[in-house]
Structure 1
Amino acid sequence: MAGDWMKMRTNLWDDPRVARIVDLTDSCEALVIGGLYWLWSMADQHTEDGWLPGMSLRQIDRKSGVPGLGEALSDIGWLEAKPDGVLIVRFDDHNGKSAKKRCQTASRVAKHKAGNATGSTETRTGNATSVTKSVTERYPEKRREEKISTPDTSLHAFEIPEGMTAAGWAGVLMKRAGCHTASSSHPDLIDAVEVEGVPFQMLVDLVEEGRARAPPPKNLFTWAIAAARGRHAEGAKPVNSSNGSNHGTRRLSPAERTAQLALEGELADAAHAATLAGTGHGYADALGADG
């Protein structure tokens, strides 16, 4: 019921309590440990808390092939005999579904810490091994260009938690940065992070940049993705402007130009509404132009 494996210590052979059972049963360590294996594996299939209704000490002796095993286990406190069954003491500390889950979690945490201590490949190289492989296979020329231009590896300083996809972690980071509409299942985010290898840091920076705009983009999430994909595709060259214009620094990518036009459209709407209300001077003021 609880699964097809169970937790069993490797040092039972030298455990003083096992030696005591050997003395009480006038047996040997091999037979006693074999009997314990049968008892615990049987219980793992039929109980979650160690309670075995209808089981008796005589049945344990007969089924394990070790005469006196049941009474010896009771004497050392590993078993409690009751009129209607027997109880394996503290069984759920080591077996049963909840105990196995704790054991597996502890094992994953230990492996994760060991990987961090030695400098795992994912920590050093970016979003995930699968992302790097995908970009390398689909865009080999791009990978060669990146090696030549020596990209800023600090953009890849975020490590994906175990059990989470790159897009899932990107969505979490964008929400933490203040983009509360971020969706890890959005196809644009998945393509950007898992196919094109857009760094997490770039997405976070663009969320913060968008929030700092006055007014901010109408859809901060999609704007940040589009801008990040454009900058990443052109080598992450900076855009030296508070409103998204390039001022001669470089030509905007199609994705960035789309984001800029969308923003200017929002500003135009805001300026028009302000003019109608008699509180503004039109589009130039909304864009922050001189005059």
Structure 2
Amino acid sequence: MAGDWIKMRVNLVTNPKVIALSEQISYSGEYQDWSGMHGFIPSIGGTKQDFDDGVMQALRVTRYVVVTALLRFWGYANEHAKDDFIKSLRISDVDEIVGVPGFGRALESVEWAEYDEELRGLRIPNFSEYNTSGHERSAEAKTAAQRQKEYRDRKKSESAVQNVVKTSDVTSEVTRNRREEKRREEVNQDSDKPTRKKSTPIPADFYPNENGVAYAEEKRVILAVELESFRNWHLAKGGTFKDWQACWRTWCDKAVEFGRAGKAPAASESGQPSLPEFMRGAL
């Protein structure tokens, strides 16, 4: 399998040396007989110009014959050449390899091949510059086991990368979920905290609730009298409390403490009930 391919330029057919090769073998009578071109090239009864014109017309086809011959020759060289040299190969052998008469001499004329008399073999100048010989490729070729191992290692590496990405995604999702849970817990904790009441002035229309009225009856305070005093006192003082119902109950307790329970307050000089003594400075 090492010698089943070689590198060739796609525009080789227009290479100047290919054109020179084509012209040289086109003038060869041996090539004309082999290719059947002699029927298109006048050789008897015609002028040299006619002959040259016939060769030039046949040259279009000959260039593709040359490229095909080069493919076969370089493929052979790719298998057998070592250091740009094929031992025991002669110029005439090239014609047999490619199947085109006169091709070896034409190849030598453009310096793409030369016979070495001393080493008794064919030298191909600069061949290894553009091609790797089959021997070198065989030495460098990987075994099936090596290729399989590389494939498994590559798949393992890809799998490891995918696992890292998945782990990263899972970690990010867990972190995101934990943050969301913590945020909900904080919101719930904030909602569970009792709302702290703010101190406010006494409402102008304050009236004790049902518990406050029952508390006043229990303490035997006169509701109408004490309520009016309670309102007037705190409106005048401008005091603030968080729970005015609780403040009312304290007022009732003080009324009992100072003997106000069950008694109407004494009238002041203005004719209005006077405030109990404890209200003058206690609240």
Per the TM superposition, whether the score is higher than 0.5 is no
What TM-score do you get using the length of structure 2 for normalisation?
0.39
If you compute each CA radius of gyration, which structure gives the higher value, 1 or 2?
2
